[in-house]
Structure 1
Amino acid sequence: MTQVSPPLVLLAAGGTGGHLFPAEALAGVLSARGIEVDLVTDSRAARYAGHFPARRLHVLPAETVRGRSPVALARTALTLGLGFVKGFRLMRALKPAVVVGFGGYPTVPPILAAHYAGFPTLIHEANAVMGRANKLLAPRVTAIASGYPDICASIPALAAKAQHTGNPVRPAVIAAADIPFAPLAADGPINLLVTGGSQGARVMSEVVPAGVERIDPSLRPRLRLVQQARPEDLEAVRATYARLGVAAEVAPFFADLPARIAGAHLVISRSGAMTVAELAVIGRPSILVPLPGALDQDQLANATALATGGGAVVMPQSHFTPASFAALITRLAGETGRLETMASMARAMGRADAAERLAALVVATGRIHV
């Protein structure tokens, strides 16, 4: 009797955790359904994909557009072209049921290669506005999944094949979502989590400790800080909190970040798509400081969406000063029930089942029978 091989889904993700995390969440759901998963990525992301739940890892050449000079553009085009040629051969060899891309230029060669080799394709856009790589791919793919509703509404041809699935989050985030928000007691501790992305943000180290110093001495002893900081900022941040007598745990990385989010009364953070998704699924209020200068203004759009739903306060970096931070913390601490209400509103926007919803779309797009 001939043994039938299980269907193969090829996930294309690279660049940052914001692309790899939702791909990892999807891989877990697909594997549980008996579907084999391979990961195709670039050499940079391959270094961080050692624990990715995939059968095999495939590396294709890829390059981000880093400048507008003819030399830079030619180098990018050449690298992406080489990635496309190798990707086309890979598709012919693997014959995947469907290829799923998660944004960023490392997904361009495999998605285009799959399209021209005749295989179904799907892209997932995590942000509230579509990124440049996904904009390039969107007209050519079979289906589009989005972390936010209506991101394709202005283009009927794209809207017709778009579906709002939400942003898949890691199992650790789903587990943290079971931890209820602890209401802020009138004179109790105020747990603040400060994070700036996988590498920490310099602005957080510059503004938050200086802002804490400006908070009234009667309120300051209630603060309990967990802060992510760049290695070069650790000593200065720790020294400031020690001088102020504020309880603080400062480190460059927290492996258990979802649990830290769940333990916080308030999170101060950038507003990458996966950060916002995790805040919503776990249900925690936040002060969001979007990364300035981004061409797509994706972090501003993400933060605005959560703030419009009542779950966050947006502070543009130009307004994120020690004085404004101290004033906002003081106000939130004095408004009994405000943080609990924000937590509920953030949670109402979360989609804990996003990985399952995306998996269902992948199965339908690839016409997979499981």
Structure 2
Amino acid sequence: MPAHSGVAAKLLRIPLVIHEQNAVAGTTNKLLSKVATLKLQAFDGALPNALSVGNPIRNDMLQQQVRVARENAARPLRLLVVGGSLGAKAINDVMPQVLANWSFSQRLDVWHQTGVRNFDEVKALYQNANVEARVEPYLDNMDQAYYWADIVLCRAGAMTVSELAVAGLPSILIPYPFAIDDHQTENARYLEKVGGAYLLPQPQLTCEKILSLLSEFVENEEALIKMGEQAKAVAHPNATQDVVAHCLRLIK
């Protein structure tokens, strides 16, 4: 919401509700929080005296089926790599190396969303490394991708973190280092502090580090399950209904 719209609502005595989706509030919401009738936030501590309701997410995420757990590592470890619509070069560059250097007894299956502009380059990197991965420029059905995955490696945007929590998916979160106020790092900490994710700063993103983190799950299904449960414990699956309910109360 533009700041002037919020100020106008206050002057006209129209109830003003703001919602902050990130763990660090943006400039507009910081300003409007001083005049808002009700302040809502996705993550604790983003705004003073705000109610934590989570981020509203799509219905297909909420209707996702329970994933089939690996039984005694009987099937490969499934890693979903998501770079976002624009891709993430640091992630794209390292993943073919990870697969090429995978030396564990259990196979690693990689489904890698590269971003449209990076698709050809990343596909070539996998081919040059002589390894196979499912490489796609864009994912139309994230709920299906989450259902497939055992663990996700991705950025830490607000909606991504919220979706991972609702899906109960363990993750390795690599915050975009140039985000305003470094808000992606704070988003990632929401899951990291409860044991639902690993927070890996981009300067520490190496093939060796990813291999080390993934090795903890190769023959340790319990650790994978526990990490997913920890993420799900802080989810807000009813965020949409809660936001609507708060708004309706103000207009009755």
TM-score relative to the length of structure 1: 0.64
Q: CA deviation at 1:119?
A: 1.3
Partner residue, 1:163 = 51
Partner residue, 2:219 = 334
Q: CA deviation at 1:246?
A: 4.2
Hey, what's the Cα distance between the residues in 1 that align with 2:236 and 2:82? 22
Hey, what's the Cα distance between the residues in 1 that align with 2:136 and 2:222? 30
Which is worse superposed, 271-280 or 182-191? Answer: 182-191
Q: CA deviation at 1:336?
A: 3.4
Is the contact between residue 165 and residue 354 of structure 1 (CA under 8 Å) also seen in structure 2? Answer: yes
Hey, what's the Cα distance between the residues in 1 that align with 2:11 and 2:17? 14
Structure 1 runs (4+) deviating above 6 angstroms are none
- 3-state DSSP of counterpart to 1:139: coil
Higher relative contact order (CA 8 A, sep 6+): 2
Is the contact between residue 205 and residue 229 of structure 1 (CA under 8 Å) also seen in structure 2? Answer: yes
Matched, 1:182 2:69: yes
Is the contact between residue 170 and residue 227 of structure 2 (CA under 8 Å) also seen in structure 1? Answer: yes
Q: CA deviation at 1:243?
A: 5.0
Hey, what's the Cα distance between the residues in 2 that align with 1:182 and 1:336? 8
1:43-87 deviations in whole A, cap 9, x for unaligned?
xxxxxxxxxxxxxxxxxxxxxxxxxxxxxxxxxxxxxxxxxxxxx
Gap regions ≥5 residues in structure 2: none
TM-score relative to the length of structure 2: 0.92
Q: CA deviation at 1:173?
A: 0.9
Is the contact between residue 85 and residue 116 of structure 2 (CA under 8 Å) also seen in structure 1? Answer: no
Matched, 1:362 2:250: no
Is the contact between residue 231 and residue 252 of structure 1 (CA under 8 Å) also seen in structure 2? Answer: yes
1:310-361 deviations in whole A, cap 9, x for unaligned?
1101101010112211222223223332111111111111111111111111
Is the contact between residue 199 and residue 253 of structure 1 (CA under 8 Å) also seen in structure 2? Answer: no
Is the contact between residue 100 and residue 130 of structure 2 (CA under 8 Å) also seen in structure 1? Answer: no
Map 1:85-96 to 2 at 5 A: none
Matched, 1:126 2:24: no
Gap regions ≥5 residues in structure 1: 1-11, 13-106, 153-157
Hey, what's the Cα distance between the residues in 1 that align with 2:146 and 2:5? 35
Q: CA deviation at 1:188?
A: 1.5
Partner residue, 2:7 = 112
Percent identity, aligned pairs only, is 33
Hey, what's the Cα distance between the residues in 1 that align with 2:200 and 2:229? 20
CA distance 1:331–1:180, shift in 2 (3 Å): closer
Compute the RMSD of aligned alpha carbons: 1.9
The residue identity in structure 2 corresponding to 1:196 is G
Hey, what's the Cα distance between the residues in 2 that align with 1:290 and 1:266? 16
Residues paired across the two proteins, number: 252
Is the contact between residue 310 and residue 346 of structure 1 (CA under 8 Å) also seen in structure 2? Answer: yes
Hey, what's the Cα distance between the residues in 2 that align with 1:194 and 1:109? 39
1:276-313 deviations in whole A, cap 9, x for unaligned?
00000011100000111334221111111101111101
Q: CA deviation at 1:208?
A: 1.4
CA distance 1:313–1:184, shift in 2 (3 Å): farther
Partner residue, 1:42 = none
Partner residue, 1:215 = 102
The residue identity in structure 1 corresponding to 2:10 is H
Is the contact between residue 199 and residue 252 of structure 1 (CA under 8 Å) also seen in structure 2? Answer: no
Map 1:1-370 to 2 at 5 A: 12=1, 107-152=2-47, 158-159=48-49, 162-176=50-64, 178-183=65-70, 185-216=72-103, 218-219=105-106, 222-242=107-127, 246-367=131-252
- Greater Rg by CA: 1
Is the contact between residue 97 and residue 129 of structure 2 (CA under 8 Å) also seen in structure 1? Answer: no
The residue identity in structure 1 corresponding to 2:82 is T
1:90-114 deviations in whole A, cap 9, x for unaligned?
xxxxxxxxxxxxxxxxx32322332
